[in-house]
A = this chain, B = another copy of it.
């Protein structure tokens, strides 16, 4: 989704889609909120027509719902929904990883190594500002997971996983803005998980890599909602 990459050539509608998307992912617009067009026009300076068009593009990404004659609203989050994201990611990302391991060349390997390095670095040196931490982490974390599956050869799998990743970002952000972000990121086993995953991929151990991925995905939900009773109630 390339957050914040607005070129001058982009149309207003495309800019609107990115802006509203960013507002939702970052939590500025909260779960269930109505998208008041007039307010958004004021806030963004974009006209109502391109705004509506941009928002319409987010519907199929699962960030927004449209109710006839009742406008748009931000798709609601819930623990069950987060589980659903991970359940859907699992078979898709497993297969993409398998294909990637099978087909990836040495350029792919180098890509995995370098993105893993950046991720580990970030987790060790994360900034204390939650907002900065969330967006920074998102960039390097998504970079690593995308690198892992980048050699799978299926445009659609990559596209779907991109959607699922962005949907998950709403929850990651929720987690990182509650309490000290470094507490979440520096949990030793979380860093270790990523290292293992990357190494198993490069050593072409598909089954073990997929197992590591499964564990990684299925424990994330706990991480978000575990000791965060507040987070749950603020949905």
A90 interface hit (Cβ, 8 Å): yes
Contacting residues of chain A (92-107) with chain B, CB-CB under 8 angstroms: 92, 94-95
A156 interface hit (Cβ, 8 Å): yes
User: Which label, helix, strand, loop or mixed, suits the secondary structure of the A interface?
Assistant: helix
- Interface size (A, Cβ < 8 Å)? 35
Chain B contacts for A154, CB-based, 8 A: 84, 87-88
Chain B contacts for A208, CB-based, 8 A: none
Q: Is there contact, CB below 8 Å, between B68 and A156? A: no
Chain B's closest residue to A159 (CB) is B62
Chain B contacts for A13, CB-based, 8 A: 56
Chain B's closest residue to A93 (CB) is B91
* Closest chain B CB from A167 CB (angstroms): 8
A85 interface hit (Cβ, 8 Å): yes
A5 interface hit (Cβ, 8 Å): no
A165 interface hit (Cβ, 8 Å): no
A212 interface hit (Cβ, 8 Å): no
